[in-house]
Amino acid sequence: MISQHNPTVISLNELGTIVSDKTIKQLLFSYNIFRSKGTNSHGGAVLTVDKKPNALPLNIHQLNCVAFQVIVKNQTYVLASIYSPPNEPVPLKTMSSLNRISKNVIIVGDLNAKHPNWGCTSMNHKGRLLAEWLENSDKYAIQNHGMKTSLRSDTTIDLVLTTPTISLSHCGTLSYIEKEKTYQDKPSKWFTFLQQLLEALKERVTLYHQTAQQRPTLSSYLRFMLKHKHYLQNKYRHSKLEEDRIRLRSWNKLIQYELKSFRQNNWMNFISEVACPNPTHFWKTVKCLNKKLTASFSAITENGNIHTTPEEIVNCLQDHFYSRFTAPTLNMNNSIDVLAFKLWNELSNSSHKDIELACENSDLKFTAQDLKLIIRKMNTKNSSGFELNNVLSTQQSGSIPHLSTLTRVDHLMEQLTQSLRHNSLSVVVYIDFLQAFDMLWHPGLILKLQHLHCPYAYLFWIVNYFQDRITTIDYQGHLSDQIVITRGAPQGSCFEPKVYIVNLFDLPQIFEYTRKVHLYVDDLALLYSPSIYLEYIKQTDEIQTRINNDMVKLEQYADNNHQPVNKNKMEFVVYHKSVQVPKIRIVYQGQCIQQQKTFKYLDFHLDSKLSFRGMIHAQFIKLRKSYAILKYIHCAFPTYFTLKMRFFQTYTWPHLYTRQPSFACFQSPIKIG
């Protein structure tokens, strides 16, 4: 603005102590600068004049007022800049004294005086006194009548007063359009941005409410100390006094000490809670360390369409779950579908008398208490009914006693290492069933249980358990229609995994080599190893043919049981020791299965070379975190031996115990004889 308009005189008010004299001199180096201090840290007046006219400063001896005298065309002029704070009176005596020095006086400044005489919409006490003084004295006249000088309101508080001997031909304000032309910056719509931010936050939050009382994490005395620290910071920022700086520094050190003590006391309280001899109390206290927040959502994307309103989201979810829980379409030309449909109708349409008669004729007599005991045994994996009747094969793990995750991984690793020791290759196809538990076909399960000679009393009970199940979706108070569930196992119960693994008990039998089938609930891994007596090229051809034949059998099994396979998640890894990666083409339902270099199977990273590099690196990261906790507890509480053992068994020992399969692979084979 200065370079464009090149003004001769510049008046600045309310610079306070924030802008130093050095900064003003650097910015206005071509002007003579006269400055007066203010009565507060936000006041002050600055008056600058071009160096060409010989301007002489005047000693007014009044804060917030600065003036100089200049001679132009043999006439003496006095120019003054005055700032009057809102809570202080207008310096009328100083303004009258300027008129005694010269008859040509120009006064500019922020007087904070409002009166309708110079175009203000309101009037205050300072404006009334100034208007009365101007009418009685006739020494000055206001030149900028009705000129808007405030950005926050339509008022005139910055006045230009002159003696009757001076008349200004033009007096106006500079528009901000010129600033936009100079910098070519578009003004930011901050209020609009704030509204958009609040609307986005409102859509993002699933449930929100205004709290009646805020519960801060810090104590009341710490919050009081922090509030006093902010007061000292503002005081030093305005005064710049050395004593204020020392007081702020000492108070800051005291706050740091109190914060450290506060954290230490909280940690001591947590340790005392953890050190409780009651295991239940220990786990309730420690579970907060592993607690994960549920992810909220505010929109759903479906086939490129984004649903944002609660009604659209509820309708979308209703259609999705309705199609998921609807019974599959049966093929009446398929004998399995026909038998399962007839058996289900016979059991579901039976009267209560038929059910009671079947229970009376059955050798199994059970009550409601007996059913509770059976379900409890399922939850603790102590049910021996499957093992006694040889229902489940040895290839099935999960939800079965003595057949855990490590058992399945050990078995897979043993077969892989046997093939690699003979410098041969092995292929493992990892298969994932689509929405496994939700796709359970009820009539097919009942038909399999009948083939396993399950008593009709149990069949009646299971059919009754699956019937009349409904669900409703509630999203932000919007309810969907009732969805009838005719497919899938109930979520969250111990009955769910048991029913699913029984439904797939005959899956390993469809493949050529059942002992190389690894099934962990719904995770299926098929291992293929060629004959070591064949050439390398013939090995790949032979193993590719076997895999594709088994894929055809798997496709037929999935169609008969209405248990679809997720083709997009099917992958396979070729484990080998050769330099060149063997190329194998596996097809399922006309789609090629993607080959990977590594795969995470049951939380174990297995790469094609069985190097375990990624798995060991991931476990080291977890061990370092637990090691830091154990190290701190050992140094801070050397006598808490029980506490250290609990933390070790909870956070460290599981990671070491799960490394057993990888450690077995690094051992050299034992030679006999």
Summary mean pLDDT of the chain: 80
Q: Which amino acid is at 183?
A: Y
Contact 446, 459 (CB under 8 A): yes
pLDDT at 214 over 80: no
- Kindly state the average pLDDT of the residues 283-295: 65
| Range of weakest confidence among 47-61, 194-208, 254-268 | 194-208
* Alpha helices, H only, 208-241: 220-239
pLDDT for 352: 64
Top pLDDT among 44 and 188 is at 44
Q: How confident is the model at residue 167 (pLDDT cuts 50, 70, 90)?
A: confident
- What angle is formed at CA 387 by the lines to CA 381 and CA 393, rounded to 5 degrees? 105
pLDDT for 476: 83
- Kindly state the average pLDDT of the residues 133-160: 82
| Range of weakest confidence among 36-40, 248-252, 492-496, 563-567 | 492-496
- Kindly state the average pLDDT of the residues 83-87: 88
- Kindly state the average pLDDT of the residues 133-142: 86
Top pLDDT among 628 and 179 is at 628
426-432 vs 300-302, strand pairing mode: unpaired
- Kindly state the average pLDDT of the residues 52-58: 85
Q: Which amino acid is at 48?
A: T
Q: How confident is the model at residue 603 (pLDDT cuts 50, 70, 90)?
A: confident
- Cβ neighbour number for residue 350 with a 10 Å cutoff: 16
Q: How confident is the model at residue 570 (pLDDT cuts 50, 70, 90)?
A: very high
Sign of the C-alpha dihedral computed for residues 23, 27, 32 and 37 taken in this order? negative
Tokens 């895999």 locate to 547
- Cβ neighbour number for residue 442 with a 10 Å cutoff: 24
> Exposure of 517 by Cβ count < 10 A (0-12 exposed, 13-18 middle, 19+ buried)?
buried
Top pLDDT among 507 and 661 is at 507
**Residue-wise pLDDT tens digits, 441-454:** 999 999 998 888 88
pTM of the predicted protein model: 0.54
pLDDT for 672: 43
Mean pLDDT is highest, among 199-213, 359-373, 436-450, 604-618, for 436-450
pLDDT for 251: 93
- Kindly state the average pLDDT of the residues 602-617: 81
pLDDT at 317 over 80: yes
Top pLDDT among 312 and 359 is at 312
Q: What's phi and psi for 657, nearest 5 deg? A: -70, -35
pLDDT at 472 over 50: yes
- Percentage of the chain with pLDDT > 70? 82
pLDDT for 673: 41
pLDDT at 388 over 50: no
pLDDT at 392 over 70: no
* 570-589 burial code (b ≥16 CB/10 A, e <16): bbbbbbbeeeeebebebebe
3 state SS for 243-306? HHHHHHHHHHHHHHHHHHHHHHHHHHHHHHHHCCCCHHHHHHHHHHHCCCCCCCCCCEEECCEE
- Percentage of the chain with pLDDT > 90? 18
631's tokens: 């190290």
**Residue-wise pLDDT tens digits, 517-562:** 998 888 899 999 988 888 878 888 899 999 999 999 999 999 999 9
